[in-house]
Amino acid sequence: MTGRMQPAAVVAMVGAGQLARMTQQAAVDLAVELRVLARSADEPAVLAGAPAIFGDPGDPAALHTMAAGADVLTFDHELVPAQPLRDLVAAGHRVHPGPDALAAAQDKLHARRLLGQAGFPVPAFCPVAGPEDVERFAAEHGWPVVLKARSGGYDGRGVIVARHGGDLPEDLARRAADGGPTWLAEAHVELAAELAVLVARRPSGATVTYPVAQTTQVDGICRHLVTPAGVADDLAWEAAELAQRVVQHVGGTGVCAVELFVGPAGRLLVNELALRPHNSGHATIEANATSQFHQHLRAVLDWPLGPTELRAPAAAMVNLIPGPGAGDPVANLPAALEVPGAHVHLYAKASRPGRKVGHVTALGASTTAALDVAARTVDILLQP
């Protein structure tokens, strides 16, 4: 006789991109049913077999359908309005991260104010209602000034390094729906390094932190990362401790990623916060005792968290981002699989310039050795 086991839990995830796709892989291991809110049938998580509800993440009815019968509602992206989530919480649904915490990941101005007022180190910033605000800010802090869209930015979209008043975007004076500004200005930090720290937190409070990763951005988009970070042990320790306090302060639940700047004189500054599995955690699939995707399911379900330590002396992850004239990663896959020790992940996304369509992770005796393997494999995947 065959019989279908009840799922261990039903998790509803808003969004069906690569983060949901890799969460689906973890859900299979744990007999968790992952239901995703997708816009179309060709999204990465739907192609990975996750049951989908089709709809718009801004549509209260779609969110309600997602939450109905699920143990918890969670997210693979932040572009979800707060009010329908508040309504779901009021109706007794579990939503993790909750709508108030989510605001810190949705709105860069809100996040800067929230953390700055609580005494966390953040770059100098100001809201921008027009060019005169930027000129005033630059008179105090100097050029360049970094202009950031308050919300909706990712992979460097919505981040402009303005070297002088002529570099300002035309819609600088546009107002957001709440009447507030749509841009903020930030002091340009001389970066000695960028770090990312993953923190997982259960709604009941238990928290774990992953070993600190060092990320490298090109044109505002993460190209690669290595773990352990190439910084002194006490700075890595300080980064992990700071990240954990940030997540606690905003009330994040599930997996959260805290991006940090190492500024002049080794001073740490909080850059931004993602309250979901994050690109900076992809290497945890192979490199850590518990992958961020397993950990996210465990955390949002308030299940015991897993250990986070590295399973090798070092690890590296390189994003697969085609440039103009790049070859097709699918056609190059067999050649890439010849590289010993390379773990290739393809997201089943159509390849186009500037778009993240996969990543490669490698473990090694050193970060240099691991990065060499992962980078070589990405070069093969992208060869014309």
Check binding of 53 to ligand ATP (CB under 6 A).
Answer: no
Contacts to Mg ion by CB under 5 A: 259, 272
Cβ–Cβ under 8 Å, residues 24 and 49: yes
Widest distance between CA atoms in the chain: 77
Closer residue to ligand ATP (CB): 157 or 352: 157
By CB atoms closer than 10 A (0-12, 13-18, 19+), residue 219 is exposed
Task: Give the CA distances from residue 225 to residues 61, 345, 373, in Å, rounded to whole numbers and listed in that order.
Answer: 39, 15, 13
How far is residue 346's CA from residue 356's CA, in Å, rounded to a whole number?
10
CA-wise closest residue to 180 among 159, 137, 151, 140: 151
* 238 contributes a contact to ligand ATP by CB under 6 A: no
Q: Of these, 8, 51, 141, 155, which contacts ligand ATP (CB under 6 A)?
A: 155
Q: Is 272 or 328 the residue whose CB approaches Mg ion more closely?
A: 272
For the chain, list the strands marked E by DSSP.
9-14, 32-38, 52-54, 72-75, 125-128, 145-149, 159-162, 183-187, 193-201, 207-209, 213-218, 221-227, 254-262, 268-274, 314-320, 342-346, 358-364
- Under the binding rule (CB under 6 A), the answer on residue 151 touching ligand ATP is no
Residue 163 binding partner per list Mg ion, ligand ATP, none, with a CB distance cut-off of 5 to 8 Å that depends on partner kind: none
CA distances in angstroms from 28 to 209, 304, 335, 338, 359, listed in the order given: 24, 18, 29, 28, 21
For residue 271, state whether it binds ligand ATP (rule: CB under 6 A): yes
Q: Rule CB under 6 A: is residue 33 a binding residue for ligand ATP?
A: no
At its nearest, how many Å lie between ligand ATP and the CB of residue 186?
A: 4
The one-letter amino acid at 34: L
Q: Which is nearer to Mg ion, 33 or 259 (CB)?
A: 259
Q: Which amino acid is at 166?
A: G
Q: Which does 60 bind (CB under 5 to 8 A by kind): Mg ion, ligand ATP, none?
A: none
Instruction: Return the one option of ligand ATP, Mg ion, none that residue 151 interacts with (CB less than 5 to 8 A, by type).
Output: none
Q: Confirm or reject binding of residue 272 to ligand ATP (CB under 6 A).
A: yes
Tell me the closest approach of the beta carbon of residue 205 to ligand ATP, in angstroms. 27
33, 76, 133, 186: which one binds ligand ATP (CB under 6 A): 186
Q: Which does 201 bind (CB under 5 to 8 A by kind): Mg ion, ligand ATP, none?
A: none
Stretch that binds ligand ATP, among 57-65, 157-165, 205-213, 322-330 (CB under 6 A): 157-165
Site of interaction with ligand ATP (CB under 6 A): 123, 146, 148, 153-159, 186, 188-189, 191, 194, 217, 220, 259, 271-272
